[in-house]
């Protein structure tokens, strides 16, 4: 475990920022793997995923995937 958490913790993931990091760092972030990793921390009480909404099939798939994994998803136009 790398994170040192002190008490109840919430995780907020803004996908627009994460996606930017992916492109700059040439990494691929696996949401399921990230969720499983964070789930190991007992102090984390909720994990929220923020994603812009549009009609692109890849966007719809990403939102559906995040929900299925277990994230609480919030979308915005």
The reply to whether 66 falls in a domain is yes
pLDDT at 14: 93
49 class by beta-carbon count within 10 Å (0-12 exposed, 13-18 middle, 19+ buried):
buried
Q: pLDDT tier at 11 (50, 70, 90 boundaries)? A: very high
DSSP H stretches of helix in 1-77: 15-25, 31-39, 57-69
Of the candidates 59, 33, 38, the one whose C-alpha atom is nearest the C-alpha of residue 48 is 38
The reply to whether 1 falls in a domain is no
The reply to whether 68 falls in a domain is yes
Q: Are 10 and 45 in contact, with CB atoms under 8 Å apart? A: yes
Mean pLDDT of 9-15: 94
The reply to whether 3 falls in a domain is no
Kindly report, residue by residue over 14-51, the tens digit of the pLDDT: 988 888 888 888 888 899 999 999 999 999 999 999 99
The reply to whether 27 falls in a domain is yes
The boundaries of the domain holding residue 26 are 9-76
Count structural domains, the chain: 1
pLDDT at 10: 96
pLDDT at 72: 96
């Amino acid at each position: 475990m790398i994170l040192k958490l002190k008490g109840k913790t919430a995780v907020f993931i803004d996908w627009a920022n994460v996606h930017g990091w992916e492109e700059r760092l040439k990494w691929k972030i696996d949401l399921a793997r990230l969720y499983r990793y964070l789930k190991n921390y007992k102090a984390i009480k909720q994990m929220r995923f923020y994603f812009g909404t549009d009609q692109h099939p890849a966007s719809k798939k990403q939102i559906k995937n995040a929900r299925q994994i277990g994230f609480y998803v919030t979308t915005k136009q």
